[in-house]
Amino acid sequence: MKVRIDTAERMHSLGLALGGLLRAGDLVVLSGGLGAGKTTLTRGIGEGLDVRGPVTSPTFVIARVHPPLGDGPPLVHVDAYRLGGFAEVDDLDLDADLAAAVTVVEWGEGLVEGLSEDRLEIRMSRIGDSESREVLITGVGPRWDMSDWNGIVPD
């Protein structure tokens, strides 16, 4: 599914909608350049999951766990930008939390796909010099039947 997102508020709203669909055991892999909207999307996902916040970029701590405020799963938010390869990802022990949490990995492309055969891959890119983003959401594995996702993108 490919969508155009024109504002940070709409990116947040997309995350909020995704948060309503995600469940424990889900892996979301985010890719895109600096300022593409990865953390804004994750902030919305956290709000949709109803986790303790604020959800901010974990660049310097690498990973942050946001416990649920209700009955839902926690959010494990990872920034893999500074990781040097799969061995460093493995050191984070993400697979230990994977079944019980929603795990969102910024800059995870090429590093974390082996954690789960089911995952959402979300690639964000700027459209020219505008503030608009093209967001490509790809479901991988049997968990993600995306045929009924037409209503997921907020107006």
- pLDDT one-digit tens code per residue, 90-135: 555 555 567 889 999 988 777 777 778 899 999 999 998 888 999 9
pLDDT number for residue 30: 94
CB atoms within 10 A of CB 68: 16
- pLDDT one-digit tens code per residue, 19-65: 999 999 999 999 998 889 999 999 999 999 999 988 887 666 677 88
pLDDT tops 60 at residue 136: yes
pLDDT tops 70 at residue 151: no
Could you tell me where the beta strands, DSSP code E, fall in the chain? Answer: 2-5, 27-31, 63-66, 75-79, 102-106, 119-126, 133-140
pTM of the model: 0.87
Say if residues 30 and 50 touch (Cβ distance below 8 Å).
no
Tokens linked to 48: 């949709």
Structural domains in the chain, CATH included, are 7-109+122-131 (3.40.50.300)
pLDDT number for residue 152: 67
pLDDT number for residue 84: 60
pLDDT number for residue 8: 93
Chain-centroid distance, C-alpha 86: 19
Average of per-residue pLDDT across 70-85: 80
